[in-house]
């Protein structure tokens, strides 16, 4: 699990107007465009916030900087793993909602086969979709954002179960606060994308 992940939201009127097989290239070209200024190394990186390109990309996409992850996918992976230790001790509503969220975003599920890419987002050619970890269409994003809003007020009720069954002394997701920080960051991503009617993408490397 040495992957990095870059999570971004993108204007669907800009990305969705072209054929699925061309969308990833358009997104990568905008992401790396010299004139965007997105990767200006003199600019401060603020964790738990958005990095928005300057220039022509400013209004079409944004990258989210997760707290405490250093851009690694490991924190997301381990959040899914620790949830396996907690979920049987959660109430039915919380368990169902967090299952939905984590299976849609980062968790592989019991058989490791959860699909995090909406059909038709980038097409089905593996050569085209190499490096895609997550891709959710605007309708899917809205549903996930609504699920997050339903479960968010109930999260603190998991603290005792987490402390008993999942807390560890070292690693990427050691305690309940680190777990909920990651969930809250995903909630911010989903809420902002849903508010704008944008798509959600996670890319490796």
Model-level pTM? 0.90
Find, among 150, 185, 167, the residue nearest to 69 by Cα: 185
pLDDT tens digit sequence for 153-175? 999 999 999 999 988 867 788 89
> Mean pLDDT over all residues of the chain?
86
pLDDT in tens, 46-98: 667 888 876 666 788 889 999 988 889 999 998 988 999 999 999 999 999 99
């Amino acid at each position: 699990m040495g992957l990095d992940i870059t999570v971004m939201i993108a204007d669907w009127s800009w990305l969705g107007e072209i054929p699925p097989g061309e969308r990833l290239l358009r997104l990568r070209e905008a992401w790396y465009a010299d004139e965007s200024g997105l990767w200006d190394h003199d600019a401060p990186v603020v964790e738990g916030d958005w990095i928005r390109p300057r220039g022509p990309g400013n209004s079409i996409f944004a990258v989210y900087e997760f707290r405490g992850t250093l851009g690694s996918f490991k924190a997301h992976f381990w959040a899914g793993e620790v949830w396996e230790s907690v979920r049987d001790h959660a109430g039915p509503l919380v368990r169902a909602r967090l299952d939905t969220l984590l299976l849609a975003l980062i968790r592989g599920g019991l058989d490791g086969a959860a699909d995090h890419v909406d059909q038709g987002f980038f097409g089905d050619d593996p050569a085209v979709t190499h490096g895609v970890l997550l891709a959710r269409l605007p309708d899917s994003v809205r549903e996930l954002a609504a699920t997050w809003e339903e479960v968010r007020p109930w999260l603190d009720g998991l603290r005792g179960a987490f402390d008993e069954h999942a807390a560890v002394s070292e690693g990427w997701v050691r305690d309940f606060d680190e777990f909920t920080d990651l969930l809250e960051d995903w909630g911010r991503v989903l809420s902002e994308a849903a508010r704008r009617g944008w798509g959600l993408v996670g890319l490796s490397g």
